[in-house]
Amino acid sequence: MLSSTADHLYWMARSMERAENTARMLDVTYRMSLFKQVLIEPHHEWRAMLSISGLHEGFEERYDTLNAENVLHFMALDKENPGSIYNSIFIARENARAVRGSITSEMWEILNSTWLEMRRIHDEGIPIDGVSRFFEWVKERSHLSRGIAHGTMLRDNTFRFIRLGSFLERADNTARILDVKYHILLPSLRDVGGAADYYQWSAVLRSVSAFESYRKVYRDQITPKRVGELLILRPDMARSLITCVNEVHRLLLEINGPHSTELIDRCSQFHARLHTETIDGIFEYGLHEYLSEFLEQIYDLGNLINTTYFWSTDE
Amino acid sequence: MKTAYDEMYAADGSVRESYKSYANWFQSIPDEVITRKREAADIAFHRAGITFAVYGEASSQERLIPFDIIPRIIPSQEWQRMTDGLRQRVKALNAFLHDIYHKQEILKAGVIPAEQILGNNQFRREMVGVDVPENIYAHIAGVDLVRADTGNNCGEYYVLEDNLRTPSGVSYMLENRKMMMRLFPELFSRQKIAPVEHYPDLLLNNLRSVAPYGVTDPNVVILTPGQYNSAYFEHAFLAQQMGVELVDGNDLFVQNENVFMRTTEGPRRVDVIYRRIDDDYLDPQVFRSDSMLGVPGLFSAYRAGTVTLTNAVGTGIADDKAIYVHVPEMIRFYCGEEPILSNVPTWELSKPEDLKYTLAHLPELVVKEVHGSGGYGMLVGPTASTDEIRLFREKIIANPNGYIAQPTLALSTCPTYVESGVAPRHIDLRPYVLSGREITMVPGGLTRVALKEGSLVVNSSQGGGTKDTWVLEGEN
């Protein structure tokens, strides 16, 4: 496959996945913001959301006040924010457009019509009571595009590069969502185990569609360790870190190619290490520290994919 | 201007034989059904992103080409004659290209003045002596035909332009047919309409047939200037339909006079490049050095014969409007036959007497830039304002060699949906002629329609639309 095609497919999938995960992250923040009593300063959760997405500075350059409405606008609709849902959908569509000859017409049409609809939503704005519906819409469109990829595409490297983009982005995002809790919880340690704590962890679970699964798997009350275990180490969880890394590892072995030895070695080590982790070990080490290192590994892997398959020399 | 020939109605108002079946059906369909179908077509085209970009338009970078649901219908015997004429013409044009880049016999024979060729900036000196597979240069030709009433109500076809560089529009021909079959499947069972859907197969066969000597399983690619080019949709569409890679300049590189593409498995050799970028931008080492679109070293590989470019470099000399007037002589010279299709009478403004006549008759004439295309830089006398004519006159006087003039033909009309209902609008036709080891074409082409009342400019960049084109099979 053409390197540039693989590059576009990968970023098409990553951007759509990112749009979905940004919606999920905003959703969890929005849910948490409904429990204001546990928070030390107002809008703390929105600040936390910006800092874990690395978009704090970008926000401050553009907005005077930090409040729900501004952050929602910045993250959902702002054209100037490269990480906004608006731009993620735009980037997904532009990448699809560049390779529309390599994807099925259904695949192209879903991304194109999503973009056309996104543009309309942007022009009309999102009323504050329509926020949740908007997040649902983004998730739905992402589910649709993934479903169409599954239902229509040939199982060749085209499909694999799309999956590779999805899972790498998802790994990154699940780690960040899990970390939201760390950023938000910090000032209110006294509340650990209280009602607010329960709601916050359940919001985290819901944002990655894992609430029902948690109940099914543990049939018990929600504890941080179990949430951590579920979202990091359970291989049967669709969005857990280990599932994402398993998929990335499998896809890289399948794509293979004559110049991929270093990449595959690196990924295999990463994969093997994750399989020896225990949740007690992770909590002892520090969840936040663990997740930060995990994010770095994902970042490095992304760079190595760039140089191995896309002939990209920068970074 | 004379009354135009109408494709559907004869002068006495009766429906022509070729349209009878369609007209019967059309009358039986309620207006609201048609309205609904037209809306459905619009939505489907938008959703599929079948768009084109208009240069110089800041507002929206992608636009739909208006699609009209009333087809243009061509009777089979008319098509047969057109096919014969097109084959003959493209054969002669390819022979001409081979000749002027080799022995230049047509110049030696004095059929065409040598300075018109050698002094023309479309003549690529770099191509002199370069051999190309099968001696074919214009592998894909999009010949623009118009039909004009010549007085006897039979509407003769004229060749308006031979597009031999990177003619576009074939994707609309295919998409229009797909849309018609989707909207009105019943029409296709009423009449035998010749299929066009196999065009991508013919194109791929054609491209493979001109691979460098000795290459048995050629790797064919389409080279696009990129996704912001006005015809990008078509480039991607054709690549997908043929199952070949769509590449831009950055995907290719040249090593030891061989062309490779960058793939996830490492470099892979490229044998045939269907390029949709102009000569000027192909290779910054040979042509425009500021080109970001091309591939450094591509021309050296081409000269070495390791890769085929379609169309060949230097075809622009044969579709230059100053050379156009000589095509009938080319046909006589290379084929020893009388031209089947006529040229539009043309005044060459490089000739003093032609210039004099043209300047005296500007309000009646169409004046075109010799190197222009896409409907840009032309004057349509009868619809131009006095100011526009005055400005154009100055441009002509400043550079007479840069222009040709033609009578304003009453292009044939076809009933078309416009805001006020159905009304006759002027149309043209672009069939696509494929030349390789043999000449092939699908029955039909792209019919373009000028949507503005009285307008003769059908180019999509100038607000033109398109229609499905039906060639009827068998007796009718």
How many angstroms away from the CA of A104 is the closest CA of chain B? Answer: 9
Q: Is the pLDDT of residue B59 over 50?
A: no
Inform me whether the pLDDT recorded for B60 exceeds 50.
no
User: CB-based contacts of B164: which residues, under 8 Å, 6+ apart?
Assistant: B93, B137, B138, B141, B311, B315, B316, B318, B319
* Cβ contact A228:A152 at 8 Å: no
Q: Do A4 and B250 touch (CB under 8 A)?
A: yes
B246 lies within 8 A of chain A by CB: yes
Closest Cβ opposite residue A258 in set B227, B239, B266: B266
Read off the pTM. Answer: 0.83
Of A100, A258, A310, the CB nearest to B236: A100
Please give the pLDDT value at position A221.
87
pLDDT average, residue stretch B341-362: 93
Residue A156 counted as domain residue? yes
- Tell me if A33 is assigned to some domain: yes
- How many structural domains are present in chain A? 1
Q: Is B125 on the interface with A (CB under 8 A)?
A: no
Q: Which residues contact A48 (CB under 8 A, 6 or more apart)?
A: A29, A180, A183, A184
A295 near B CB under 8 A: no
Decide if B239 touches A, using CB distance below 8 A.
Answer: yes
pLDDT tens for residues A56-106? Answer: 889 999 999 998 889 999 999 999 999 999 999 999 999 998 888 789 989
B98, amino acid identity = H
Q: ∠ at Cα A47 (A42, A51), nearest 5°?
A: 165
Query: Which stretches of chain A score pLDDT less than 50?
Result: 186-187, 314-315
Which of B51, B264, B270, B276 to probe by mutation at the A interface, max A CB count within 10 Å?
A: B264
Using alpha carbons, list the distances in angstroms from residue B201 to B206, B242, B244, B440.
Answer: 8, 7, 12, 11
Which tens digit of pLDDT belongs to each residue from B385-434? 999 999 999 999 999 988 999 998 889 999 999 888 899 999 999 999 99
| Mean pLDDT in residue range B379-385 | 89
Counting one residue from chain A and one from chain B, the pairs whose CB atoms sit within 8 A come to 63
- Chain A: give the shortest CA distance to residue B238, in Å: 8
Please report whether residue A30 resides in a domain. yes
Query: How close does chain B come to A55, measured CA to CA in Å?
Result: 30
Please compute the mean of the pLDDT values over residues B37-64 and round it to a whole number: 69
The domain in which residue A122 lies consists of 3-310
Q: Per the domain annotation, does A315 fall within a domain?
A: no
CB neighbour class for B347 (10 Å; exposed up to 12, middle 13-18, buried from 19) = buried
How close is the nearest chain A Cα to the Cα of B269, in Å? 12
Rg (CA), chain B: 22
Confirm whether the ipTM is greater than 0.85.
no
